[in-house]
Amino acid sequence: MQIEAIHEIDLTPERDAEIAALLARTFGADDGYGGMSFYNQRHHLRLLARLDGELVGHYALGFRAIRMGAKRVQIIGIGEVATDPDHRGKGVATALMAATLDRARASMADFLVLFGVRPIYEGSGFVAKENTVRHMGIENGHSTGIIEKGDTKLKVYPLKDTVWDDDALIDLLGPTF
């Protein structure tokens, strides 16, 4: 299996369409992606998994500063996690997670953050958190306002010595990923 990293700005229309097709195969026709390679907002880096040249897996990574209460911290958010249904159980997600962890540990980020429910996340060291999360809402390509609510899908992986504040309001300073 080959893991390829590509910066968002370097995506070609062909690669973008290839990722969009993988997301459609993974999540179905009513996936909310509308034929795009991202859900609400573009990312910074894509990690692509290929088997014999075929795109079979994808992680999107976004690097940003957020607020954890009064403190500003740097995170890498993980979004658009996808494994082609025909290639599940072949280690695709595990290889992408390992590549993500390697890149994140070498970065300036304090935490990896995602919203998800898959067992691979806790198995990789992510911890479920119940913080109230504030973010910008986006529906059908339009800003819908600020949303603030508890999110039981919040998962956090510490990368540095910074301690996650379980009681703090988490302000993503933008949309979710």
In a domain, residue 13? The reply is: yes
Residue 151 has pLDDT above 80, yes or no: no
In a domain, residue 10? The reply is: yes
Four-CA torsion 53, 4, 31, 78, nearest 10 degrees: 160
Confidence band for 34, pLDDT divided at 50, 70 and 90: confident
Mean pLDDT of the chain: 94
Flag the least confident range among 23-27, 63-67, 74-78: 23-27
In a domain, residue 177? The reply is: no
In a domain, residue 108? The reply is: yes
pTM to 2 decimal places? 0.91
In a domain, residue 105? The reply is: yes
**CATH number of the structural domain spanning residue 31:** 3.40.630.30
In a domain, residue 58? The reply is: yes
The Cα 84–Cα 54 span in angstroms is: 10
pLDDT tens column, 94-135: 999 999 999 999 999 999 999 988 888 988 999 999 999 999
Range of the domain at 92: 2-171
Confidence band for 158, pLDDT divided at 50, 70 and 90: very high
Confidence band for 46, pLDDT divided at 50, 70 and 90: very high
Number of C-beta neighbours around residue 121 at 10 A = 23
In a domain, residue 28? The reply is: yes
Residue range 135-144: average pLDDT?
A: 90
In a domain, residue 67? The reply is: yes
Q: What is the total count of domains within the chain?
A: 1
